[in-house]
Structure 1
């Protein structure tokens, strides 16, 4: 009997656990250790409970702890926080938070799938009442309770989560302010695309403050936040949400010899193995190989976590399966717009020393003679030496999702701009023009 221990009970951890029990049901003993009290829930769906598209937090749970225990025979534990790993003796040590008791569990093979924690800047007042992050279902439920009385919202950070939260509050007619330390929203987009998001924010009544770094939060006499200070400017608010990024939850590994990058993400090979025998890692605590950059990167997304977990579990039972890497595809909705990107941006290509140029094209999502057509703003990035497609960004009201996936597929298979132009894509006037606007953009490269 092989004893598998998995630290983390969400996407990567439970994808791996399911592979183990399905591929090796008679000889596997699986123990999963979850720091919180909920297994396998959709973190990406949290803002949409506020927005109203998801009725309740229970709908975000894919499989309950009881399902894992009773149906699949997994020893799924909750409120078990791992604090230390003895790599020589192959033991995991931690604290049972419910009983306030230490535990120690031996393993034959170990998967670290501890995810990532929200980053809250170390500034005065960051722990007063009314200051939040949004990463877990309990985080969301706490926020929802406060929203019943406090509806003057300030979001710190204009990235994916910040924009999704701003959309959620604006949809519910809750006044919202975004404070961003850079000079644009969505810094993962190039500066010639991001203004489209700012225009939409302003059109929908969202206040946006650029080039401001939050320095302090102050509470009123009731102990609740009432003022946010950013570069000595005061902003009244009674609810603050930090959406300033996440960091790998790996602080308990720093003295183990497990190789980490400068952000604390775990180095893994294609089989999700770390540099330590019998220890694997997957998900938001681990790195991913970027096929376009041709180097390891840190791109924490649910899609990557599920795939890496599946690959890790398969390899842990002795079936070789490599993780094929990522091309950096992401998408989000912001009010009436959808924004998506894949590959590398123009500024990323420049930072990597890749000879690159870009082409910009505005087309329509369907045939241009339809009265209800919507504009599609498309940017393609390509190598100047042999016209290899490097990346794409698309912003529009309709048709963004299907096109970014076509571009992601093209990137995965290292297509040139000429090859992309020759793709046989579907056409009928209610769905597209006779030349897809992506290919219209590619045709402008000569």
Structure 2
């Protein structure tokens, strides 16, 4: 059986390893336009600020390891430009030589991830304007951040924007965030985002809301960000506007996609085309709470979907159970956790919901070192079916958001949280965990 996998990172190599384990006679070819396989993209901001010493530290397995240890024909510098589902071939160009290639497959996995969005702004070709997605991106940023860079402007206030704002401040840079909307971290509701804004300002970050970037000015290197309301002097720009599924090369195949280009897959990670699977940031993600396809590109999801795709490509029968919309971000002293639906999403879906907010401490109130956290729960009005939660605080957020994520997966109601046997000792918790305190008030 000839397996071809387009994409050499999380989803692609998770699939490849499953095929290696399950099909001893497999012929596996992986294709990537880059030269580095299988690395932790979420760790790259911490390489830039020095918390992780080198990009080498975030590489899980080298290309050579896949070749020599696992027998995978791991090709680098191979850009795929076309898939022919009738002839069952993948074709493209070898970047270094410009030579064309064509490879036949029996089963194909598309795991091409997503690309950072950088609109065709006037002046976007100037030096000093960067995006962050890959190790080469990271090295380019590190090379550019010399002592001449004092003012950094970040366009976009999502998770990458927040991660990098902290990294730039850690490096001693002045940081400005320009956000088209009226808040940072739009996966949180406005009331919770105020805590994020306060933390940003306390760490010297300039926040500009409601301005649309139109272009850049400079003589060879960026010196000014131009918006619809004015100009902002800068020495460096990071565009963190978001990502777009890397699926343009599939145009004309007839493959079914979401509006943003993400490939629609069923629970077996099969696409609408026979013997073609897809996984990771280039695909749809079934949302268990919304009960419909969504798009939330995360490394955890990519690894899960890739593993399941690999199992099924090798004649297994496993299904992807879906996501509940969980994410977490470290932002200076705060941890920002959310899962399920925000209040905004619940409203857009027309759900009959209620909201409950309260403050609590991460450990027993009488134990030294306690820290406050803000909790917000969204649930169905009559049945108290859990819809989502947002928790922001200094310590203990990760523990609670994971408990709620598990509760959402199992479709628990608010009252069910009272029956959970959660760990307790004064240095770690109160006798009633904060999420149970909230449930107790509403039950």
TM-score where L is the length of structure 2: 0.99
Residue matched to 1:180 = 179
Residue matched to 1:217 = 216
Deviations 1:322-375 (A, max 9, x none): 011110100010000000100011110110111111100100001112231100
- Alpha-carbon distance in structure 1 between the residues aligned to 2:401 and 2:314: 35
What secondary structure sits across from 1:4 in the alignment?
strand
Residue matched to 2:354 = 357
- Alpha-carbon distance in structure 1 between the residues aligned to 2:279 and 2:423: 37
Residue matched to 1:34 = 32
What secondary structure sits across from 2:244 in the alignment?
strand
Q: Is the 8 A contact 2:287 2:323 kept in 1?
A: yes
1:424, CA displacement in angstroms?
A: 1.7
- Alpha-carbon distance in structure 2 between the residues aligned to 1:34 and 1:354: 43
Residue matched to 1:191 = 190
- Alpha-carbon distance in structure 2 between the residues aligned to 1:203 and 1:5: 50
Residue matched to 1:80 = 78
Deviates more, 1:167-176 or 1:300-309: 167-176
- Alpha-carbon distance in structure 2 between the residues aligned to 1:394 and 1:192: 12
1:259, CA displacement in angstroms?
A: 0.4
Structure 1 spans left out of the alignment, 5+ residues: none
Q: Is the 8 A contact 2:2 2:26 kept in 1?
A: yes
Deviations 1:399-437 (A, max 9, x none): 001111111001100000011122121111110111111
1:152, CA displacement in angstroms?
A: 1.7
What secondary structure sits across from 1:341 in the alignment?
strand
- Alpha-carbon distance in structure 1 between the residues aligned to 2:442 and 2:100: 63
Q: How many residues align?
A: 442
Q: Is the 8 A contact 1:150 1:239 kept in 2?
A: yes
- Alpha-carbon distance in structure 1 between the residues aligned to 2:50 and 2:385: 42
After superposition, residues 40-439 of structure 1 pair within 5 angstroms as 40-148=38-146, 149-220=148-219, 223-439=220-436
- Alpha-carbon distance in structure 1 between the residues aligned to 2:440 and 2:208: 38
Deviates more, 1:148-157 or 1:305-314: 148-157
Q: Is the 8 A contact 2:188 2:342 kept in 1?
A: yes
Q: Is the 8 A contact 1:69 1:76 kept in 2?
A: yes
Q: Is the 8 A contact 1:249 1:285 kept in 2?
A: yes
Q: Is the 8 A contact 1:361 1:440 kept in 2?
A: no
Q: Is the 8 A contact 1:359 1:444 kept in 2?
A: no
- Alpha-carbon distance in structure 2 between the residues aligned to 1:390 and 1:171: 36
Structure 2 spans left out of the alignment, 5+ residues: none
What secondary structure sits across from 1:444 in the alignment?
helix
What secondary structure sits across from 1:9 in the alignment?
coil
- Alpha-carbon distance in structure 1 between the residues aligned to 2:27 and 2:176: 50
Q: Is the 8 A contact 1:12 1:309 kept in 2?
A: yes
- Alpha-carbon distance in structure 2 between the residues aligned to 1:143 and 1:172: 12
Q: Is the 8 A contact 1:378 1:393 kept in 2?
A: yes
Q: Is the 8 A contact 2:211 2:229 kept in 1?
A: no
1:122, CA displacement in angstroms?
A: 2.0
1:444, CA displacement in angstroms?
A: 2.6
TM-score where L is the length of structure 1: 0.98
